[in-house]
Amino acid sequence: MTVVLGIETSCDETGVGIVVDGELRANAIASSVELHARYGGVVPEVASRAHVEAMLPTIRRACLDAGLALTDLDAVAVTEGPGLAGALLVGVAAAKALAAGLGVPLFGVHHLAAHVAVDTLEHGPLPEGTIGLLVSGGHSSLVDVRDVAAPVVLGETLDDAAGEAFDKVARLLGLGFPGGPIVDRVARDGSADAIAFPRGMAGDGTYDFSFSGLKTAVARWIAAQADVPVADVAASFQEAVADVLTQKAVAACVDRGADTLVIGGGVAANSRLRALAAERCETAGVRLRVPRPGLCTDNGAMVAALGHLLVARGAAPSPPDVGARSTFPLPH
């Protein structure tokens, strides 16, 4: 029996997950999102302090849920980066202390790789040809995960992240924070083709994204209206984001002969993105895998899942001086 505990603190969720022999046994999460809502976004200092307060109770909660003691652990995994420096530091320090105290190996992992690896808990091993689309408030990346422990970036956003565009458009429409779930809900009463917002960088032959121009177009369109049809703006904006993301993700699968697409990150919860991805993947003969919402947003289970894959393949643990890496670039 191999027991791996994973710690994730790259943003505002304190996540601790436990995976036993490839099976999810606990996924405890404490979120400081309510503390951040009044600022309209995540505040790094607030996040760091919240992580410090939540870390030990969340570890205890995870052990309780899994019915295991800390002494049952065989390895500890932790998100090294990328993320908010102070927030990452709390998780890395806790993981090091646990690993050193228990005398078990420590594995520092990449946040985006963990977002893909988590799907093995729900849908089994990843086939060799797998592309990951990772979309959240801080990331918009297409990665080739032939080896999930060493992803290669195919493309990423050149300006704003997809989730950030949702936040900013929600701000323009006076809808509150975080923008993703609110825009999704409001969009249900609107028409996706009411307004033809631009599809930034669509069909340009790259796998990069740009959402800044779309944000500008929405701002300008709103400024020109006497009476703003909020639901139509939300639906048309959401359509533009989902259109470009799915177009490029499916193109990446086809171009690189990958038969599986995994979508992860908070924006993976968006209903229109999921529906359009399902439609286009089916047409292209690509299998779409999206973990359940609780595993798409930041959590500790994804770190434990990747840690478990590393232990299973006999990977070398991280050196004891492994540190938080707020910018943690992947090879292109």
Partner 1 sequence: MRVATATDMRALGMALAGVLVPGDLVLLTGPLGAGKTALAQGIGAGLGVAERLTSPTFVLAREHVGRVPVVHVDAYRLGGLAELDDLDLDTPAASAVTLVEWGGGLAETLADGHLLVEIARSDVPADDVRTVRLTGVGPAWDDRRDGLAALDW
Q: Is 317 in the site for partner 1 (CB under 8 A)?
A: no
Nearer to partner 1, 85 or 254 (CB): 85
From the number of C-beta atoms within 10 Å of its C-beta (0-12, 13-18, 19+), residue 271 rates as middle
Nearer to partner 1, 13 or 119 (CB): 13
Q: Rounded to whole angstroms, how far apart are CA atoms 96 and 105?
A: 9
Q: Is 52 in the site for partner 1 (CB under 8 A)?
A: no
**Segment interacting with partner 1 (CB under 8 A) among 15-23, 38-46, 102-110, 237-245:** 38-46
CB 24 within 8 A of CB 17: yes
CB 12 within 8 A of CB 36: yes
Q: Is 58 in the site for partner 1 (CB under 8 A)?
A: no
Q: Position 120: which residue type?
A: T
CB 50 within 8 A of CB 65: no
Quick one: which of 13, 160, 243, 298 contacts partner 1 (CB under 8 A)? 160
From the number of C-beta atoms within 10 Å of its C-beta (0-12, 13-18, 19+), residue 183 rates as buried
CB of 289 to partner 1, least distance (A): 26
**Segment interacting with partner 1 (CB under 8 A) among 17-25, 119-127, 211-219, 227-235:** 211-219
3-state secondary structure of 147: coil
Q: Is 171 in the site for partner 1 (CB under 8 A)?
A: yes
Q: Is 39 in the site for partner 1 (CB under 8 A)?
A: yes
Please report the DSSP string for 20-77 in residue order.
ETTEEEEEEEEE-HHHHHTTTS--HHHHHHHHHHHHHHHHHHHHHHHT--GGG-SEEE
**Segment interacting with partner 1 (CB under 8 A) among 99-107, 110-118, 152-160, 249-257:** 152-160
Q: Is 224 in the site for partner 1 (CB under 8 A)?
A: yes
Nearer to partner 1, 84 or 277 (CB): 84
CB 143 within 8 A of CB 155: no
Q: Is 40 in the site for partner 1 (CB under 8 A)?
A: yes
**Segment interacting with partner 1 (CB under 8 A) among 26-34, 119-127, 217-225, 261-269:** 217-225
From the number of C-beta atoms within 10 Å of its C-beta (0-12, 13-18, 19+), residue 332 rates as exposed
Quick one: which of 174, 205, 223, 283 contacts partner 1 (CB under 8 A)? 223
Q: Rounded to whole angstroms, how far apart are CA atoms 265 and 67?
A: 28
Nearer to partner 1, 15 or 138 (CB): 138
| Binding to partner 1, residues 74-103 (CB under 8 A) | 84-86
Note the residues at the interface with partner 1 (CB under 8 A).
39-45, 84-86, 137-138, 157-161, 164, 167-168, 171-172, 212-213, 215-221, 223-224, 326-327
